Amino acid sequence: MQEFKIADQTYTSRLLIGTAGYPSFHIMTEAIAASGAEIATVSMRRVKFTDTSGENLFALLRERGMTILPNTAGCFTAKDAILTANLAREALETSLIKLEVIGDEQTLFPDVEQLLSAAETLVKDGFTVLPYCNDDPITCKKLENIGCAAVMPLGAPIGSGMGIRNPYNIQIIRDLVQVPLIVDAGVGTASDAAIAMELGCDGVLLNTAVAKAHRPVLMAEAMKKAVEAGRAAFLAGRIPRKLYATASSPQTGMIE
């Protein structure tokens, strides 16, 4: 299986996992381990840096050698996202940032204008920017041109579990951009992750599908296998779709 590279860092797993919404800290740690993920995203506006309960998320992720990907979830303006990114760089000593600038509280769709503005500023400031965006090929191409290290279009609204609602746009984005393409948001089950990878995505980022599953650890394991299988299928190359049957056995040399 080909290695997965973001900026100058190389990974073996193409599954990125979130750390929010699990039934308990213990289940979260087990699920992350079962997923095989090497990158974990953490909301800078929702996680305590000083936790006296002994459940220090950042310490745990570092002990496991995982890459911490701070995100700007909860930001509704470029200004807030830029501030949050700078706080993350100072607190965690990383230039990696998952950039989210939300435009609507109900759908949680990105505000494209504010997203592009924030991305441009952060790239100029030396950040490695991974932007959450709409499944819009033009927006993705603009983000690549700005200098983002990847593009992360949604498969469906955050937390909806609706799967890949517009596979054709994902395919167009794959053709347009050269940076890694990571589906972010909307994955509900393992088949959704496999479909994303079969479309040519370089990775899948998910959270709710595992955290809110009846058995999060088992779902994390399923997601790991789905991403691996989907990538293998993409590299293998599927047969063309046909309206009519084609016999799989040769027609010549048949016994009369």
pLDDT at position 95: 95
User: Average pLDDT, stretch 225-252?
Assistant: 88
User: Average pLDDT, stretch 70-97?
Assistant: 95
* CB-based contacts of 136, cutoff 8 Å, min separation 6: 112, 153, 169
User: Average pLDDT, stretch 37-48?
Assistant: 83
Choosing from 5, 48, 98, 224, which is the catalytic residue? 98
Asked if residues 143 and 122 have their Cβ atoms less than 8 Å apart, the reply is no
Residue 51 confidence (pLDDT) above 60: no
User: Whole-number mean pLDDT of the chain?
Assistant: 92
pLDDT at position 58: 87
pLDDT at position 3: 79
CA gap 9, 150 in Å, rounded: 12
Region of 108 please: left (phi>0), alpha (psi -120 to 50) or beta.
Answer: left
Dihedral (Cα; 171, 177, 180, 181), 10-degree rounding: -30
**What order do you get walking across the sheet with 39-43 strand by strand?**
152-153, 128-133, 96-99, 67-71, 39-43, 15-18, 203-206, 182-184
Residue 55 confidence (pLDDT) above 80: no
DSSP, collapsed to helix, strand or coil, labels residue 67 as strand
Structure-token pair, residue 58: 């950042």
User: Is position 124 annotated as part of the catalytic site?
Assistant: no
pLDDT at position 56: 82
Express as a percent the part of the chain with pLDDT over 90: 79
Phi, psi at residue 187, to the nearest 5°?
-65, 130
pLDDT in tens, 194-231: 999 999 999 999 999 999 999 999 999 999 999 999 99
pLDDT at position 217: 97
pLDDT at position 39: 95
pLDDT at position 252: 66
pLDDT at position 250: 65
pLDDT in tens, 116-175: 999 999 999 999 999 999 999 999 999 999 999 999 999 999 999 999 999 999 999 999
User: Average pLDDT, stretch 78-90?
Assistant: 95
Q: Helical H runs in 46-187?
A: 57-63, 78-92, 112-124, 137-146, 167-176
Chain position carrying tokens 């395919």: 171
* C-alpha distance from residue 186 to each of 35, 40, 248 (Å): 18, 17, 37
pLDDT at position 73: 92
Q: What's the distance, Cα to Cα, between the start and end of the chain in Å?
A: 46
Residue 5 confidence (pLDDT) above 70: yes
pLDDT at position 99: 97
10-14, 44-48, 87-91 — which is least confidently predicted? 44-48
* pLDDT band, very low/low/confident/very high, at 1 (cuts 50, 70, 90): low
